[in-house]
Structure 1
Amino acid sequence: MEETIQQGVKGTLQTKDVAKQQAKTEKLVVFIYYDHEPTYRLLEHQLLSTGDFEHVSASKWDDAHSILGALSIDSVVIINTSESKQIYQLYEKTSASNHYRHIPFFYIGECSHEEMGQIFANEHEVISVPFNPETFYIKMKAKIDHSTRLKNERQLDSVTALYTEQFLEKMFHLQVANLERFKTPFTVIFLSLYNFYEMKTKYGLTAADQIVGTMSDYIKCQVRDSDLAFRLDAEDEHAIILPNGGQTEAGYFIRRVLENIPPVAATTYDGEPLQFFIELCASIVEINNADVTYREVLEKGKGGLQAAVFKGASTIETVNDFQEPTVEKIKVTIIVEDQVIRSVLVHLLQRLTLDYFELDVQTFFDGEALLASSWHRSAHTHIVIIDDVLPKRNGLEMVHELRNMPNNEKYIVMMLSNRKTEEDVTYAFEMGVDDYITKPFNVKFVESRLKRYLKRLR
């Protein structure tokens, strides 16, 4: 939003366009409703000279109602030099709505003692005219900064009691860490209340809060105990994390949600009863790649949601950008004294065709050489193919060393041996080997065993 939004924003389509325009900026938005042009111009000049905020203005009730219904406002300034009851009523109703309850209001001008007491009780500011615009700006910026900081620190949304978008980012990173560790994909569902802004603009903030509250309660009732539901910063949008579910399961879930939405009872500013039949749109993002970023998922998920809204109510869009698993690096160590066997095993590993795995192979003629190197000091999954007969330490002694190292579960140990008795095999497994292959071995047999272990890792 490079240019300041001016007054006179009217109509559903125009307010929706302004809301979209606002989403393109990271600047905070101040709304000014005024009855005195010179006072407004004084404040406008101060805001434009600093460039810290975008501002939206209106001098008519209908325009103010449309703007407040369409935009996400970070602070409201009321200029009422004529002691207008209508202007005070706008303050009273707006500040009482759940959506604007936690943002700073500044009331510039005249009001009765009773009205002033109510403004102070809401912890809002009353400023007499004339006022110093620079001093006012410093106070306003401090109040907005404080309000923004509190908002960013909150984990629960004050209107819906769902988790906030800021908490969504934290939970996303936790899910990615679990994906990297356990290879279990997860899914994020994005939901939008279809035609919400039109209803908000037409029926006001009170009805809008009730609609969002009812739909949030409905979503909370639909999710499982293991799922996480969030309200996003765009007030008509929600997100749900399905920790152990893929795209197919998410599709079944969201179709069930869309088919059973209850009617919503609400009231207008004036207490007029209303009933709405709300419809939702959704996008589904399955994540099977640990290299993905939160911003990428949020951008693609919301992009899919916009596409669904454009197509119409109850549309579900799927985002397939993050379904390909991360290519995982696997270390493979061959500890075999016999050079021919080492060469055979290296050739076998080099010609293996593996999806989503990259093998990094090193060979050692003895276990002491491995321990003297830094090769084993990493968190990567580590396949060790080891002969039981070695020049210095035998293979079982090396297995004992590996199993006593920190994070020893990363090792998959395959032992090669000439010993075939039941006692020898049993003892090797008791010492910690994962597989036991007798020599001479069939290369195809070893290849199939390797593929089986790698398949389990995925």
Structure 2
Amino acid sequence: MEARMISANVMQQKEVQKYFTVMCESVIRSHLTMTAIFLTLSEGYKTEELAKEMSVFLQAKLRKTDLLFQLDNNAGWGIIFLQSGEVEARAFLNRIFDILKKEYPQLTINASITEIRNNNITFDALITANEQILSKISNEAWVIEEITDYQQPPTELVKVSIIEENDIFRHVLEVAINQLEVPHFSLEVSSYEDGYSFWQSGNYQSAHTHLIIVNDILPRKNGFELLHSLRMMPNGNKFIIYMMSERNSEAVALNAYESGVDEFIIKPFNLRLIEAKIKRTFARLWP
């Protein structure tokens, strides 16, 4: 077997457990994926010598960012692939299966794959689920099973504030956005008649991503004043700001963009336009 000189020391199952919750939270924050692989030898080949050789072999085939660990009672191995999904994990297994079949024609191995994109799983639950699925195929050889229960990413809350003096237009816009379906995000919509009411509400102090749709001319604290206040905040980049205006002027639009708006929209406009812009904005936020 290749790379016999590499150390066969690997982490144990109990050592990985204390890091697993942190790994799951990292998946949530980064919007990335991690995948767990579990491997087990057929019952007749579970010798201490072969287990050490397999540990060496697996270490040699993994990246530095991957985590290899021994399952309790030497029942097999677990591998955590950070920032990799089911496709990469399956390709890895097919590659090492091809090598092992040639070097150990008498050996049989089975594997399971669990792609994780949320934090709805504990380490114990992960171990149990994979033990059960590997037990069901224990009499087979070179089989790869998949657990798909944890592939759905969590929904991220986004605040939306509509700041518009016209009652009818403000209500129509609020209803349209409340009915908007944006994959991976839930929208919490609030509306205000002017910038002062919005500022007094303190709604902008939330840590959530915040889409603000604001008219440029308002009776109290107009759109440009509000824009300046928000962009001066330490976390000003969390705000996505659309400015609406009845002034179809390049000078006004240029001033808005130079002041920090993300979109400048001329009124009146088709509601489908702003819906499309919102969907496109949040599609860019999700990898």
TM-score, with length taken from structure 2: 0.87
Partner of 1:254: 93
Partner of 1:369: 197
CA deviation profile, 1:180-226 (whole Å, cap 9, x unmatched): 2222122111111222xx445xxxxxxx3321111011111111233
Q: Tell me whether 1:279 sits opposite 2:108 in the alignment.
A: yes
8 Å CA contact retained: 2:111, 2:145: yes
8 Å CA contact retained: 1:308, 1:316: no
Query: How much identity, in percent, do the aligned residues show?
Result: 33
8 Å CA contact retained: 2:24, 2:119: yes
AA aligned opposite 1:190: F
CA deviation after TM superposition for structure 1 residue 378, in Å? 2.4
Describe the SS at the equivalent of 1:239: strand
CA deviation profile, 1:49-78 (whole Å, cap 9, x unmatched): xxxxxxxxxxxxxxxxxxxxxxxxxxxxxx
Partner of 1:313: 141
Q: Over aligned residues, Cα RMSD in angstroms?
A: 2.4
Question: Could you tell me which of 165, 178, 181 is aligned with 2:26?
Answer: 178
2-side partners of 1:389 and 1:170: how far apart? 54
- Equivalent positions of 1:27-426 (< 5 A) are 160-195=8-43, 198-200=44-46, 208-261=47-100, 277-310=106-139, 312-426=140-254
AA aligned opposite 1:169: Q
Query: Which protein is bigger by CA-based radius of gyration?
Result: 1
8 Å CA contact retained: 1:190, 1:237: yes
2-side partners of 1:427 and 1:339: how far apart? 27
Q: Tell me whether 1:447 sits opposite 2:286 in the alignment.
A: no
2-side partners of 1:290 and 1:337: how far apart? 42
1-side partners of 2:106 and 2:234: how far apart? 58
Q: How many residues align?
A: 280
2-side partners of 1:393 and 1:415: how far apart? 14
Partner of 2:4: none
8 Å CA contact retained: 1:285, 1:319: yes
- Bigger mean CA deviation after superposition, 166-175 or 386-395: 166-175
1-side partners of 2:135 and 2:232: how far apart? 54
Partner of 1:270: none
Partner of 1:116: none
1-side partners of 2:123 and 2:195: how far apart? 43
Detail structure 1 runs of 4+ shifted over 6 Å in the superposition.
Answer: none
Q: Summarize the Cα distance change of 1:365–1:285 in structure 2 as closer, same or farther, 3 Å threshold.
A: same
8 Å CA contact retained: 2:28, 2:117: no
CA deviation profile, 1:212-264 (whole Å, cap 9, x unmatched): 11101111111123322222223132111222222122111111111112788
Structure 1 residue runs of 5 or longer lacking an equivalent are 1-158, 201-207, 265-274
2-side partners of 1:395 and 1:326: how far apart? 33
AA aligned opposite 1:184: L
CA deviation after TM superposition for structure 1 residue 448, in Å? 0.5
8 Å CA contact retained: 2:157, 2:208: yes
Describe the SS at the equivalent of 2:95: helix
8 Å CA contact retained: 1:160, 1:231: no
Describe the SS at the equivalent of 1:384: strand
- Bigger mean CA deviation after superposition, 417-426 or 312-321: 417-426
2-side partners of 1:276 and 1:263: how far apart? 6
AA aligned opposite 2:232: N
Structure 2 residue runs of 5 or longer lacking an equivalent are 1-6
1-side partners of 2:128 and 2:202: how far apart? 41
8 Å CA contact retained: 2:163, 2:192: yes
CA deviation after TM superposition for structure 1 residue 413, in Å? 1.3
Describe the SS at the equivalent of 1:226: coil
8 Å CA contact retained: 1:218, 1:261: no
8 Å CA contact retained: 1:307, 1:317: no
